A and B are shown apart, each in its own frame.
Chain A
Amino acid sequence: MGDVLRVRALEAWYGESKVLHGMGFRLAEGEVVTLLGRNGAGKTTTLKSIMGLMERRAGSILYRGEELIAARSVGIARRGIAYCPEERGIFASLSVQENLELPPRVAPSGMATHEILELFPNLRERLGSFGTRLSGGEQQMLALARILRTGARLLLLDEPTEGLAPIIIKQIRNTISRLKALGFTILLVEQNVAFARALADRNYIVETGLIVDEIAAGEFERRLGSIQGYLGI
């Protein structure tokens, strides 16, 4: 036991085309783990499969010992898994406050709005504005802040640094470090090597729908060359 999430032989399809060819990895309680890989490698699809957002998937997804492969996304969220999508999913027709308070509480441990605003102080003055009036960085903060309310303890974050300025990336890095210190288990999809290096306990390399390598935090420096090779940098 001890694994929060254990994925085995996970396969997923978009229509007729198979995108995941048997992914397998695990997350222990309190770990930050990244999935690194090029565009189209299947990282986002992996997160979507865990969340039950793919039409067709097979294999095994064990969450705290419970099989989720056949569960619907509503039920998966209610079990305490929260998802922050790549495109951030800020609702344009909702104000920042409404966006923040949208996800329902699934566990009593969810943060109150004022606690969340302490973590993300720059959202406070924007509570009344509409979602898409925010800058990219603010949108990303909001997307992260939003899922902390629910009380979920496993967070799936899809490229939180995408398209953001270095200064914002730094802020997000600090936030995720704090979340880690608070005991959240985090599965992070990334292409940003520096970001992964700063945060991750372990890194999985994803290529064509498969895990092809695993790199622990301690090995990161030594294997930087091969990581860059995998990512095509």
Chain B
Amino acid sequence: MSVLEARDVSIAFNGFYAVRNVDFALHEGTIHAVIGPNGAGKTTLFNLLTKFLQPTGGSVYYRGQDITGEGPAAIARRGVVRSFQISAVFQGLTVRENIELALLRRSNLQWRLVGHARRNTDLVRRADEILAQFGFDREADTAAANLSYGRKRVLELATTIAMDPDVLLLDEPMAGLGREDIDRVAELILEAAQGRTVLLVEHNMQVVSRLAERITVMVRGEVLTEGSYDEVSKRPEVIAAYTGGGH
């Protein structure tokens, strides 16, 4: 069954189509990657699925329900949570506060005007678990701004997981990471994918081949082809798109 689906979606900026007539379905329980050269419209598709952009044509469905008219916050509350290409952590908050924030959204405390979140023992316990899971125990009270770039990406992933999402959308989770970090983050993604559906945009083909069960190749705002890594990587049109067409 498809969890998240785009039917014939397009978006044009000033007459220029960044995504054009794309049909795309994300199936329950899979890890699915969208690949393609720069400018292919991968991130735009992401923004359309999470409604950070409103499509100029077509519809988006979540478990068969039309969500084309909903805003990003409403989509997130349905359990479709995304990360950003450029690391998006709350710099001025501590690591723990970043995690707590995600947990707050799922608690009934978000409109509490007085009193401290930390009085809620469930929330604190859950935050501790996530901190431990992602190896943040010693950095819990560090301001996120002071983390290294790689750790920030991990923190963003941790915050996203803290939301306990149904669908996880990761926009280039490996961008800017060194080799060691890449392996660690890949492990974390595999772990997080247990019982969830994951969609990722990624450039690093080793990562894609290792993680993704299904791959969609986009070029110039359109879907070129879709299949498993082995199928897709052998198709001549994909090789052409990646190496630039000319010979």
Contacts and interface: CB of A to CB of B under 8 A. Distances in A.
B204 to A, nearest CB: 5
Contacts of A133: 14-16
The 8 tightest CB contacts between A and B, nearest first, are A163-B39, A166-B245, A192-B244, A132-B14, A194-B244, A40-B176, A162-B39, A162-B38
A194 B245 CA distance: 7
B243 interface: yes
Interface string A66-94: 00000000000000000000000000100
By CB atoms of chain A within 10 A, which of B220, B242, B245 has the most?
B245
Interface string A1-17: 00000000000000011
Given A136-B39, A163-B220, A191-B38, A39 B203 contact: yes
Interface in B110-144: none
A166 B244 contact: yes
A165 interface: yes
Nearest to A138: B16
Contacts of B145: 16
A76 to B, nearest CB: 26
Interface string B98-116: 0000000000000000000
29 contacts: A16-B145, A17-B149, A38-B203, A38-B204, A92-B14, A132-B13, A133-B16, A135-B16, A136-B16, A136-B220, A162-B37, A162-B38, A163-B37, A164-B39, A164-B220, A165-B245, A166-B245, A166-B246, A169-B245, A191-B37, A192-B37, A192-B244, A193-B243, A194-B243, A194-B246, A194-B247, A195-B246, A208-B178, A232-B203
A9 B220 CA distance: 37
Contacts of A173: 246
Contacts of B244: 161, 166, 169, 192-195
B172 interface: yes
A233 interface: yes
A64 interface: no
Contacts of B245: 165-166, 169-170, 194
A31 interface: no
B219 to A, nearest CB: 8
Interface string A161-187: 111111001100100000000000000
B246 A39 contact: no
A163 B203 CA distance: 14
A53 interface: no
B212 to A, nearest CB: 14
Interface SS of chain A: loop
A107 interface: no
Nearest to B178: A208
A115 B160 CA distance: 54
Contacts of B204: 38, 232
Interface in B8-44: 13-16, 37-40
B143 to A, nearest CB: 12
Interface in B192-224: 203-206, 220
By CB atoms of chain B within 10 A, which of A39, A133, A198, A208 has the most?
A39
A163 B38 contact: yes
A40 B15 CA distance: 29
Interface string B152-177: 00000000000000000000100110
Interface in A183-233: 191-195, 198, 208, 232-233
A163 B40 contact: yes
A130 B13 CA distance: 13
Nearest to A41: B176
A166 B240 contact: yes
A198 B14 CA distance: 33
